[in-house]
A and B are shown apart, each in its own frame.
Chain A
Amino acid sequence: MSEKKGRPEYARYEAQSTEELQEILRKHAHNEIQIEMDTEELFYIMEVLSERNNQTPEQIAKTTQDAYAAFREHYMPKENSTAGKTTAKVFSARWMKVAVAAVVALVILCVTTASAQAFGVDIWGRFASWTKEIFQFQDASQHDQGKDPEKENNLELKSLQDALDQYNITQKLIPTYLPSGYTFADINVFDSPREVSVSAKFNRENDELIISIRQTIGKVPEQIEKSDKLLEVYTIGGVDYYIFSNTETLQAAWVVGEFECQIIGKISVEEMKEMINSI
């Protein structure tokens, strides 16, 4: 669905910087641009920005449904297959080759995994995935039934634990340690048909620290901004905590059951680990 094709009149946007294009979008959204821009023009700009981010709309739009459809097309057995019909050569030479190939593939997989672990790449342990710009946990559950919709609300709760208690969330998800100087400032509780999000903010002079817990129902892919480098996968209590930087802030993300948790703040790796240790 490329909006750039056949629109040479918008080619001038290619020459503009990313900051200039983002400013155009911002001004347009704020009604600061007097000349009305049509949707195609806006999409042209968005596409230029997407390509610069190396993340085309088509790539983003590649949905699970598409992948599942392709899987069904290529790999699922056809319903009208010749199941039940017996053939004389049940285990033919052709199937033998397939079996040998499968065994070889299995051996490669096992040895690769073992050697990958030796090189420090934890293949099976990483259900989380990241690109160069975002981090997200893969959806492990495919059930998609929503619960009754509820309006989002903001509760004036004293602590994050109070909010979790209200949702009968008994798992230990919250750090009991806060880096020196941080004090409770605000809390948000949001409900949607697909997720419950409970987050708290703590302040230390001009710095802010956010702890966010969300319980998802079905597929709610969240994208987490990150710099290029995953600093560490810190494992404690059988849980992998992914620690990475996002410009000036440090972030940690982890999954416990159906809960996805984050800590975001201008703190050191040591302080982050100490918070994690206190969960």
Chain B
Amino acid sequence: MATKKNLYLARIIVCVLVISLLVPIGARAATPETATPYASAYLASYTAYICPMGDGELQIWYRVTGTGTWADLGVLSIFLYESTDSVNWYWVKTFRHTEYDNMLASNEWQHMSHVDYEGIPGYYYKAYVCIWAGPEDGGDSRYIWTDVERCT
């Protein structure tokens, strides 16, 4: 009986060891190093986030770093969404760089600024931000969501 139990345990240990050896091989095969290339000749890094400032004031910040100096660098559009429950979202405002001078910089290699919105304390907000960098005759865009923030 004891031998049978030991044999059973040995089988489990062997299975565990085999799985442990196979998992990293699979993980290595699945690393992004084998994935499709996707990069930007114009954009190096970027971020966007919402800062609740109190009394309902929201600041939507963005920072864009180019791979070099470009004719246009920054964000083209910001779509702001509002929610009472963080589940059902409603579009409330679009910020466009043609209306806000500080959204898109000219002949810069890095740009950081913010736009403001009067929110409702207790409501949730998130924004869909169109990042842009490029020369006058082209460029590259990326679309990122900010994290959800609760207005204070």
Contact = CB atoms under 8 A, between A and B. Distances in A.
B2 interface: no
Nearest to A139: B147
B143 A46 contact: yes
A230 B37 CA distance: 11
A12 B126 CA distance: 29
B122 to A, nearest CB: 15
Contact of B77 (A42, A104, A207, A219): A42
Contact of A193 (B17, B38, B51): B51
Contacts of B63: 190, 192, 195, 197, 222
Given A39-B91, A227-B39, A190 B112 contact: yes
Contact of A246 (B31, B39, B113): B39
Interface in A157-205: 186, 188, 190, 192-195, 197, 199, 201
Contact of A192 (B23, B61, B91): B61
B69 interface: yes
Given A120-B28, A193-B53, A247 B41 contact: yes
Contacts of A223: 45-47, 142, 144
A262 B143 CA distance: 22
B79 A29 contact: no
Contacts of A49: 141, 143
Contacts of A273: none
B109 A208 contact: yes
Contacts of B31: 121
A115 B132 contact: no
Interface in A260-279: 262, 264
Contacts of A229: 33, 37
Q: Is the interface of A mostly helix, strand, loop or mixed?
A: mixed
Q: Which of B19, B38, B61, B147 is packed against the most chain A CB atoms within 10 Å? A: B38
Interface in B66-109: 67-69, 76-77, 79, 86, 89, 91, 94, 96-98, 109
A133 interface: yes
Interface in B1-51: 12, 16-17, 19-21, 23-25, 27-28, 31-41, 43-47, 49, 51
Contacts of A64: 147
Interface of B is mostly: strand
The size class of the interface chain B forms with chain A is: 35 or more
Contacts of B37: 132, 227-229
B109 A26 contact: no
B143 A57 contact: yes
A264 B44 contact: yes
B23 A228 contact: no
Nearest to A208: B68
Given A111-B17, A192-B61, A210-B109, A121 B28 contact: yes
Contact of A25 (B47, B76, B94): B76
Nearest to A148: B53
Given A193-B59, A225-B44, A149 B53 contact: yes
Given A1-B89, A53-B38, A230-B33, A225 B43 contact: yes
B128 interface: yes
Given A112-B20, A225-B43, A226-B39, A29 B147 contact: no
B38 A210 contact: no
12 contacts: A1-B89, A26-B132, A30-B98, A46-B143, A63-B148, A121-B24, A121-B31, A133-B39, A201-B110, A208-B109, A245-B39, A264-B65
Q: 9 smallest A-B Cβ distances: which pairs? A: A132-B35, A116-B24, A29-B76, A133-B38, A111-B20, A190-B112, A228-B37, A208-B68, A222-B47
Given A25-B77, A121-B27, 12 more contacts: A25-B141, A26-B76, A29-B76, A130-B32, A152-B113, A190-B63, A207-B68, A210-B65, A221-B49, A228-B36, A228-B37, A247-B41
